[in-house]
Amino acid sequence: MKREELKGERFALAAKAITGAQNLDELHTALIEAEELATEHETKLTEFVDTSELPTFGTFTGDTLEVFSWDETRLLIQGNPWQLVPRE
Note the pLDDT of residue 61. Answer: 83
State the Cα angle at 14 between 12 and 20, rounded to 5°: 95
Q: What is the pTM of this model?
A: 0.90
d(CA 66, CA 57): 17
Amino acid present at 58: G
Average pLDDT rounded to a whole number, residues 29-49: 93
Amino acid present at 16: K
Buried b (16+ CB within 10 A) or exposed e, 8-18: eeebeebbebb
Residue 51 has pLDDT above 90, yes or no: yes
Tens of pLDDT, residue by residue over 11-26, are 999 999 999 999 999 9
